[in-house]
Amino acid sequence: MNGSLDEKLEPIYQEVLHRNAGETEFHQSVHGVLETLGPVLVKYPEFAELKIIQRICEPERQIIFRVPWQDDKGELHINRAFRVQFNSALGPYKGGMRFHPSVYLGIIKFLGFSQVFKNALTGLPIGGGKGGSDFDPKGRSDSEIMRFCQSLMTEMYRHIGEYTDVPAGDIGVGQREVGYLFGQYKRLTNRFEAGVFTGKGLDWGGSRARTEATGYGAIFFTQEMLKARNDSLEGKRVIISGAGNVAIHATEKAQQLGARVIACSDSRGVILDEDGLDLDLVRQIKERERGPISAYAERKKGAKYSENGSIWEIPCDVALPCATQNELTGKDAKVLVENGCIAVAEGANMPVTPEGIQTFREAGIAFGPGKAANAGGVATSALEMQQNASRDSWTFEYTEARLQEIMANIHRTCHETAEEYGAPGNYTVGANIAGFVKVARAMEAMGHI
């Protein structure tokens, strides 16, 4: 881990390590927040007396359960699923469900912990939680995914609700999976409780711009960081890791703002197109055909594909890691700095390692941490909850305008908080402290719970 901890915080961190053995991603996430909180305890000594940090690091509830399901050949499979309800001081737990073989308790806890502060930064009344399963949807038929989702919800439905816990999608969980999960919830509860799940289809309670929100929001935040330096995305060379929902919509908004997105990637390799990515072709391959990104080079003249290549070796002005945690290392960060990169924003959750963040910080690069830069998705989920509560449906333009306003406010909050605590331009410090203080004040007000 980079960064030393305040002497009051070190014992708290050691206790987290002891109580959550082997959960390395969670340890990394907690350390990343704690290393910025020393000045907060000086300003608010009551937070230490009330053990707010110890309470914030311990989830309010952790639910682990088995999910038995049958494949198309009749074979029975057993997966493990999780729902970690981390903190509800600001509102019902809110956070996505992830279906991926890498999922275990430590990853869900890291995501849930980060979600608490991310949700606080949106300014909307939502707490933090996260869930998922080690189920792998790749290569599974629609009917197999439906049976898995129905089995999972048969247990999880009793732990969620529009005033309790509102899940959404994440890696491996898109509109198809949300549909199956919500359908089973409706069947079990005998209620059309639209506000219990976000990321729904537009025909049955979904929000316009929700699909685009995380990617769009990351670009809006990047634009605000550049604006603070009297610059903009216009004419910039941009590379975006991943080729899923976040990467595709970040590419779309970056292109609309005049940037040239030249590279994207998937788990198998990297595509480089100096003319600028043909987004329609990327969508055709990844969303409709569900194929590998290598197919892009086969169909687009002049594009180059590098199997198992590193996207971070491509010279750029702006880099957006939008794939998965710890994908951009300290070594990658040094290459980006040497190649003249001026801004990095995390479209994924914790995609840059602590060493990478330190490298960007020392080089004076504008760095937008995930809990700020990718908060657009959960912010628009909260807007979807508002529409569901009022039985309303807003236009795409209205929702996107709300999203842009929220991202500008998040940037302003992070920027001003960093200044206030003596770390001008350090968005990581600003995001951590602003999110923490908001949650801590609410916890203080509600007593020892």
Q: Does 1-58+426-449 match 61-192 in CATH topology?
A: no
In the predicted model, what is the mean pLDDT of residues 148-163? 98
Q: Which residues of 403-436 are buried (b: 16+ CB within 10 A; e: fewer)?
A: bbebbeebbebbbebbeebebebbbbbbbbbbbb
Neighbours of 103 (CB within 10 A): 25
Superfamily of domain 1-58+426-449: Glutamate Dehydrogenase, chain A, domain 3 (1.10.285.10)
Q: What is the pLDDT of residues 274-321, one digit of tens each?
A: 999 999 999 999 989 989 999 999 999 999 999 999 999 999 999 999
94 marked as part of a ligand binding site = yes
- Show which residues are catalytic: 130
381 marked as part of a ligand binding site = yes
Neighbours of 203 (CB within 10 A): 6
| Annotated domain spans of the chain | 1-58+426-449, 61-192, 211-363
How far is it, in rounded angstroms, from Cα 371 to Cα 364?
20
CATH of 61-192, one of 3.40.50.10860, 3.40.190.10, 1.10.10.520, 3.40.50.150: 3.40.50.10860
329 marked as part of a ligand binding site = no
Say whether pTM exceeds 0.85.
yes
Chain center to CA of 94 = 12
169 marked as part of a ligand binding site = yes
The token pair at 143 is 């009917």
pLDDT at 302: 94
Q: What is the pLDDT of residues 182-236, one digit of tens each?
A: 999 999 999 999 999 999 999 999 999 999 999 999 999 999 999 999 999 999 9
Among 143, 142, 144, 149, smallest CA distance to 182 is for 149
255 marked as part of a ligand binding site = no
| Residue 89, C-beta contacts closer than 8 angstroms, at least 6 positions apart | 127, 439, 442, 443, 446
Fold for 211-363, please state it: Rossmann fold (3.40.50)
